[in-house]
Structure 1
Amino acid sequence: MSLSSRPGRARASGTPRTRRRGEELDEALLEAAWEELEERGVAAFTYDAVAKRAHTSRPVLYRRWATREDLIIAAIAHHFDNSPVAIPDTGTLRGDLFAFLRDLGQRRGAMAAPMAVQLGALYESGITMAKARERMIRSHPAVDALILERADARGELDLAKIPPAVRSLPLDLWRHHMLMTLDSSDEEYIRAIVDDIFLPLVAHYSRAR
C-alpha cells in the first residue's frame, strides 16, 4: 500500500489529516524511508527528504532512529518483514530446506540484489552487510535457524555439534549464487546445496563424538 492511500495522510483537497501516532506513524515513516531508498539510493538518503515525504519533521525521525544508518536498516527490515517467508513443514530437514530456499527465491529474489547494493553503500559507515543483516533479524529468529531447531527436535541432527558456519551454509550459498548470477530460483543449484553439500556435512558433524 502506498503512502498516498494510507489513512491519516493529508488529502489533495487540503482537508487536515488526522494526527498519526504509535505504530501507524512508525509504519508511515518507514514506508517513506523505503521509498526514498528505492528512488534515490543510500548516497542521497537524508532525514530531510524522508521527513518531507512523510509530512513530518526531522525531530520525529531522530527520536526513533538516532543515526541515518539506523533508519536505513530499519526501513529495509520493515520492507522485508512485509514479505515474510513462511516456515515450511514437510516433516523432513531436506524437504524444509528445499522448500525454504525455493520460496525465498520466489518472494525475495527480485529485491535481494538491489538491497545488497544498498547495504553495500553503508560500508563507509563501518556497517558491513553481515552486521546489517544481524541487526535486521535481531527482533525475531531467522527462518533457517528455526528449521534446524525443528530438525534437531525430530532427531535428524545434533544441533549442538554443528558449527555456526555450517548452520548458515545453505542460506550463505544461496545468497552468493543469487548475487553472482541474479538467478534466485535455480532449483538444481538449490538441490546441490541441500543434497551435495549441507546434508553430508550435517551427517558428519552429528556423528562426531
Structure 2
Amino acid sequence: MDLIEEAPARRRRGQELEDALLDAAWDELLESGYAALTFDAVAARAGTSRTVVYRRWPTKPDLVRASVARAGTRDRVPAPDTGTLRGDAIALLKRANETRLGFAAVLSVHLGQYFQETGTGPADLRELMIGGRATTLDDILERAVARGEIDRAVLTPRIAALPFDLFRQEVLMTLKPVPLATITEIVDTIFLPLVGLRPLA
C-alpha cells in the first residue's frame, strides 16, 4: 500500500506570523492572566519558538501592550446606520456586549500586576488601542451632525465619550453583558438630553 506523505506546514512570515503571536498572547491573557503569562506558553500556542516571540517583544509588558492593541482593533466593524443617533447608539452598545466583554475582563481582572509594574492604567492601554484614530462612536456622531440631528458644538470630549464610559463601567462592575434596559436608559435618559435630543416617550 502506498504511503501518503503529509505536506509540510506552511511557514508563516511577516504580519501573518506577528498576528498569530499576538492572538496567542491575548488568548493566554484571557485564560491565565498577566502573572502566569510566559513567552514559552505564547510560543507553544502559536506553534513557534520562544525566540521568535522574544525577538519581536523583548519584555512581557511589550508583548502585552501589542496584544491588547491588536485585540482592541481587530474586530472593529462598520458603524451601525439605523438613520437616527438613538438607534445607532443602542445598536452599537448592543454589539459591544458581543465583542468587548473579554477585553473588559482583561483590563479589570487580569492586568493588575501589569499596571503595577509599568505605572500605567487602563486609560493608557485604551489610548494605545485607539492610537488617535476615530472610533465607531465618532463615526456615528459625525453622521448625526451631518444629518442636522445634533449640533457639533455640544459634543465636548466628555459628552461624546459618555455612552461608552457608562457602558464600560457597567461591564467592569459586573463582568456580564449589560441588559438592554440599562443600555436604553444610558442612551435615552442621559446621553440624548445632553446632545439636545428628546428621548422617546
Q: Shorter chain as normaliser: what TM range?
A: 0.7 to 0.9
1:166 matched to 2:176: no
Percent of aligned positions that are identical: 47
Residue number among 47, 56, 60 corresponding to 1:64 in the alignment: 56
Contact 1:92 1:151 in 2 (8 A): yes
Given candidates 24, 40, 45, the residue that maps to 1:32 is: 24
Root-mean-square deviation (CA), in Å?
Answer: 2.6
Task: Provide the residue aligned with 2:120 in structure 1.
Answer: 127
Normalised by the length of structure 2, the TM-score is: 0.80
Unaligned runs of 5+ in 2: none
Cα contact 1:102–1:187 (8 A) shared by 2: yes
Query: In 2, distance between residues paired with 1:155 and 1:63?
Result: 51
Residues 85 and 107 of structure 1 are in contact (CA less than 8 Å); yes or no, is this contact kept in structure 2? no
Q: Tell whether 2:74 aligns with 1:78.
A: no
State whether residues 106 and 185 of structure 1, in contact with CA within 8 Å, keep that contact through their aligned partners in structure 2: no
Q: In structure 1, how many angstroms separate the alpha carbons of the residues matched to 2:92 and 2:143?
A: 14
Query: d(CA) in 2 for partners of 1:66 and 1:153?
Result: 46
Query: CA 1:157 to 1:65, structure 2 compared with 1: closer, same or farther past 3 Å?
Result: farther
Structure 2 distance, partners of 1:141, 1:171, is 14
Number of equivalences = 190
**Is residue 93–residue 151 contact of structure 1 (8 Å, CA) maintained in 2?**
yes
Quick one: distance in 2 between partners of 1:48 and 1:34?
A: 14
Matching residue of 1:41: 33
Does the 8 Å CA contact 1:85/1:104 hold for their aligned counterparts?
no
